[in-house]
Amino acid sequence: MVSPTRATIEDVARLAGVSAKTVSRVFADSAQVADHTRERVRDAAKRLRFRPNTLARDLRRGGVSSTVAFLIGDISNPFYFAVAGGIEQELASAGYTMLLATTDDSAQTERRVIDALLGQRVSALLLTPVADDQSYLEGERHLGTPIVAVDRPPRDLVADTVVLANRSGMREAVRSLTDRGHRRIAFVANPASLYSVRERLAGYREALAEVEVQDTVRWEHLSDDPHASTHEAVRTLLASTDAPTAIVTGNNRATSAVLRALRDISTPHPPAVIGFDDFEYAELLGISVVAHDPHELGRSAARLALDRIADPGGRVRTIELPTRLLPRGSGERPPVEG
Amino acid sequence: MVSPTRATIEDVARLAGVSAKTVSRVFADSAQVADHTRERVRDAAKRLRFRPNTLARDLRRGGVSSTVAFLIGDISNPFYFAVAGGIEQELASAGYTMLLATTDDSAQTERRVIDALLGQRVSALLLTPVADDQSYLEGERHLGTPIVAVDRPPRDLVADTVVLANRSGMREAVRSLTDRGHRRIAFVANPASLYSVRERLAGYREALAEVEVQDTVRWEHLSDDPHASTHEAVRTLLASTDAPTAIVTGNNRATSAVLRALRDISTPHPPAVIGFDDFEYAELLGISVVAHDPHELGRSAARLALDRIADPGGRVRTIELPTRLLPRGSGERPPVEG
DNA sequence: CTGTTAGCGCATTCAG
DNA sequence: CTGAATGCGCTAACAG
């Protein structure tokens, strides 16, 4: 089975009895062409199933493609997908397509994948930085590729950035607990080394310091082993003699683990719980959370990229998106001595 | 601020004192080049921060890019993101990047976006068909672009397809209920016109027919209005004189709506519930579901595409992925007369 | 093992 | 308003 060959702009020109450039104009400028000529060209194009080759066009127009890349660390985290959704939406309305790639949260993969992406001459590179330093992108930035850091600031690289108000969001959550009299408050996170989680941890400590609780380390359960059992840790925490009366979590995964652990533990007085990141069943379960808008995070990032494509010399910006404490019951439980 | 210009293969060749083709070989063939020559070229390339332009390469090599497009209907549905994750993973290991685009479940957008994607000369097009018919892709298929339908078969188009065992999965779920004595079983879905949901509805009817329950329409709550209140509908259903003793749902969204409704309704004997699609909190909530592997759905789809890129003449295949009934409590409740 | 020639499909000059 | 020539960056097809 021999495939028919794809029509080129020349084929269309021949059939329409015009020059290649005229065909080009019909599909690009759209102006500067007589109506009847345009008509004839359109007809010929349709008959030949002609479709302009974006690859060739982009190459001719300065070698930059009409795609923007978004590089995610962990594709299985629904948070990043919501972000990707926002990016895609904003890009699409500007005529760009999103190239989505993942790094498996490995610094080595990050470099390899970025190399491939830049080879495709993406118009901009959005990424959630994983490697310890992104200085290797400095050269690329000077070559004019807009780079936007999403959810985490880059290291050793000047770039537009969008992050959440992690620290103040968590501070507010913990304050709501201390206001109710809680003093023994645990912080549970896994992974814990991420920028966002570290910031939330800082906010947690700040809020506790405000009520003279300084030594919080024994309440902090931080792990970076994805296989470590948060479940077990929470169990231990609650079984101790001065068990916490409240638990805050560093992210959606930790929240899920904490809730599972609480289900399996029978305590007369369950601790108050406030999770970071909202989730679909939080309302049903009555779980208070520090909510934010991942979709908007993506849109903001895409807008930063588009702005920089339009004005490469503009000032570098960092956007911090607000969070919102949503009381749903679990976070309003008073402290009760177990 | 003037951006430095990007080095081309010629610049590298000049600096290394070789021809452009030799540089090309170093970055492609990798073989057929003397070690010391390769070394010199590598050095020169590094000094100039040279990065091969994939756009130009792809154009020269037959005009096909090294990207594969995946077109989703609704980006906010976590199901499709899990699928996208599987696709990306499988593609990446074969050296392709995923172009992700969305149609907002609009047939019109579908055509427009597909046009743009094909213009980029993607190596394959994966899509969840939305439009009533995809025959407009027939020409493209003949031109050699592999097309794979994901989660729904295409209409009026021969294409490789991956779907779930929707019908048998739901049949099995309903049988598990009738085996326990349930006869008044409701089916709740929104949206309901999708292929997958229609198949599940068919499975539901088949299983009920097996126990001589023929007139199921009054138990079927099917809606396609995203703003319609499933919540209200479930409430009405359960308040009726012969309320259902069990509810099965057509998808994850319906499950969520049903659970919310049940929370707000006080019934002495809550109905048994089996949801289609597993979700993170199902285990915690004790909700029985018909589970499947969306990630694997994506991987299978990507493999079909890669196979067809390798062998354009091969037989068209349809893969049906199995489902699994996961009992977690809610689906094992016996029928109780309210 | 290396170089030369030609051209992928299109758009940017610059003329008419 | 339209056309002819030229080349974007790279790689087949041939030489040598």
Q: Which ranges in chain A belong to alpha helices (H)?
A: 9-16, 20-27, 35-47, 54-60, 78-92, 107-119, 138-142, 166-179, 195-209, 230-239, 252-264, 282-285, 294-310
B56 chain-A contacts, CB cut-off 8 A:
59, 63
* pLDDT above 60 for B227: yes
Confidence of residue B34 (pLDDT cuts 50, 70, 90): confident
Q: Which of residues 48-87 of A touch strand C (CB under 7 A)?
A: 50, 52-53, 56-57, 59-61
Could you tell me the distance in Å between the CA of residue A80 and the C1' of nucleotide D6? 46
CA distance A149 to chain B (A): 20
Q: Between chains, do A56 and B59 touch, taking CB under 8 Å as contact? A: yes
Q: What is the pLDDT of residue B334?
A: 96
Could you tell me the distance in Å between the CA of residue B13 and the C1' of nucleotide C1? 16
For Cα atoms B135, B110, B68, give the angle at the middle one, nearest 5 degrees: 90
Q: What is the pLDDT of residue A3?
A: 59
Tally: H helices and E strands in chain A: 13, 12
Q: What is the pLDDT of residue A232?
A: 84
**What does DSSP say about strands A246-249 and A220-222: parallel, antiparallel, or unpaired?**
unpaired
Q: What is the pLDDT of residue B139?
A: 87
Q: What is the pLDDT of residue A164?
A: 98
* A81, A119, A281 member nearest B52 (Cβ): A119
Could you tell me the distance in Å between the CA of residue B168 and the C1' of nucleotide C4? 64
Q: What is the mean pLDDT of residues B204-222?
A: 94
Query: Closest by alpha carbon to A63, among B27, B52, B3?
Result: B52
Q: Positive or negative, the Cα torsion across A81, A84, A89, A92? A: negative
Return the number of CB contacts < 8 Å for A and B: 165
pLDDT above 90 covers what percent of chain A?
61
Q: Between chains, do A53 and B121 touch, taking CB under 8 Å as contact? A: yes
Confidence of residue A29 (pLDDT cuts 50, 70, 90): low
A112 or A126: which carries more pLDDT confidence? A126
CB proximity A27–strand C (7 Å threshold): yes
Q: Between chains, do A313 and B1 touch, taking CB under 8 Å as contact? A: yes
pLDDT above 90 covers what percent of chain B?
65
B97 chain-A contacts, CB cut-off 8 A:
99-101, 116-117, 120
Q: Which chain A residue shows the shortest CA-CA distance from B80?
A: A81
* pLDDT above 90 for A281: yes
Q: Which of residues 34-73 of B touch strand C (CB under 7 A)?
A: 34, 37-38, 56, 59-60, 63
Q: What is the pLDDT of residue A31?
A: 65
Q: What is the pLDDT of residue B77?
A: 82
Could you tell me the distance in Å between the CA of residue B60 and the C1' of nucleotide C7? 8
B259 chain-A contacts, CB cut-off 8 A:
281, 284
* A1, A81, A284 member nearest B259 (Cβ): A284
Q: What is the pLDDT of residue A30?
A: 67
Tokens of A249: 């979590």
Best A67, A75, A77 residue to mutate vs chain B (most B CBs within 10 Å): A75
Distance CA A38, CA B55 (A): 29
Q: Between chains, do B53 and A121 touch, taking CB under 8 Å as contact? A: yes
Place of tokens 């070559």: A143
Burial class (CB in 10 A: 0-12, 13-18, 19+), A145: buried
The nucleotide lying nearest B57 (C-alpha to C1') is D10
Query: What mean pLDDT value characterizes chain A?
Result: 91
Question: Which residues pair with residue B125 across a beta bridge?
Answer: B69, B147
Q: Between chains, do B280 and A65 touch, taking CB under 8 Å as contact? A: no
Chain D, protein-covered positions (CB within 7 A) = 1-5, 7-13
Q: Which chain B residue shows the shortest CA-CA distance from A144?
A: B3
Q: What is the pLDDT of residue A21?
A: 84
Tokens of A54: 């974006």
Q: What is the pLDDT of residue A35?
A: 79
Query: What mean pLDDT value characterizes chain B?
Result: 91
CA distance A215 to chain B (A): 33
pTM: predicted TM-score of the whole model, two decimal places: 0.90
Q: Which chain A residue shows the shortest CA-CA distance from B115?
A: A51
The most confident of A78-87, A165-174, A260-269, by mean pLDDT: A165-174
Confidence of residue A1 (pLDDT cuts 50, 70, 90): very low
Q: Which chain B residue shows the shortest CA-CA distance from A82?
A: B76
Q: What is the pLDDT of residue A149?
A: 97
Q: What is the pLDDT of residue B239?
A: 85
**What does DSSP say about strands A185-189 and B124-127: parallel, antiparallel, or unpaired?**
unpaired
pLDDT (tens digit per residue) in B153-188? 999 999 999 999 999 999 999 999 999 999 999 999
